Amino acid sequence: MPKIVSSQIRAARGALDWTIEKLAIESGVGARTIKRYEAIIGVPTSKKDNLEKIRVAFEAAGIEFIGTPEDRPGVRISVTKT
């Protein structure tokens, strides 16, 4: 599974209107770690499976990650609001 880049994390959070704290709760990844990931450019360095946890949380909420880190990384939103 391709890695996600920091801009995709920020875009997905924005699309869902999630705070960093909400993402931390949904993913089980610490808020400080998420802040660090979002502050860099490109694929965050992750010693644990934190990026996978973040991806799974977003995908469960209706976000699809598209592209690759090298070729037009983005998000597709399939969230329906009621």
Domains in the chain, ordered, with CATH? Answer: 6-77 (1.10.260.40)
Instruction: Write down the pLDDT at residue 48.
Output: 84
> How do residues 1-44 score in pLDDT, each as one tens digit?
678 999 999 999 999 999 999 999 999 999 999 999 999 999 99
Instruction: Write down the pLDDT at residue 82.
Output: 45
Residue 3's identity, in one-letter code, is K
pTM tops 0.85, yes or no? yes
SS3 track for the chain: CCCCCHHHHHHHHHHHCCCHHHHHHHHCCCHHHHHHHHHCCCCCCCCCCHHHHHHHHHHHCCEEEECCCCCCCEEEECCCCC
